[in-house]
Amino acid sequence: MKLPRVTTTYSGIKNKPFMLTEDVNFTLSNGDNMLIKKGYLTDFASVPFWAKPFIATRGEYSEAAVIHDFLYNYRHYVEDKHLVRFPVSRQFADNEFKYQMKIYGANCIIRNIFWLYVRAFGWIRFGKI
């Protein structure tokens, strides 16, 4: 199975420096296809400043981070075939992040560090664009 990849350009916006250059469809763990439209802004993985020497903001978890950012920002996803909005909980978003990291090949240690971090501190950002 060929996994979709995001293509980006520099946006010039400090907190969300990358912009998707084309629409991307991702298959979620529940089997739905999630559509993220061209122009969506992301920072990929929101790595705290103190962890940046050890963990990059981009890597084998980049696509998972875009999905997670979108779910956190909008608290829903759009199923691409019918353009229906499905609301999501923070737990769903965090579990989807971990699942997508596994699908895209992030190693188990990184997956668990990122997942524990978003579970512990994600409440600060959930639902805030």
**Is 0.75 topped by the overall pTM?**
yes
Domain presence at residue 51: yes
Domain presence at residue 114: yes
Strand order in the sheet with 41-42: 8-10, 18-20, 41-42
On the CB side of 96, CA atoms within 13 Å amount to 28
Domain presence at residue 3: no
Q: Cβ distance 73 to 129 under 8 Å?
A: yes
Res 67: pLDDT = 93
pLDDT in tens, 22-72: 998 899 999 988 889 899 988 888 777 787 788 777 788 889 999 999 999
Domain presence at residue 2: no
Domain presence at residue 100: yes
Domain presence at residue 107: yes
On the CB side of 81, CA atoms within 13 Å amount to 4
Domain presence at residue 105: yes
Q: Which domain holds residue 106?
A: 8-124
Dist CA 82 CA 74 (whole Å): 18
What's the gap between Cα 45 and its chain centre? Answer: 8
Mean pLDDT of the chain: 85
45, burial (CB in 10 Å: exposed 0-12, middle 13-18, buried 19+): buried
Total domain count, the chain: 1
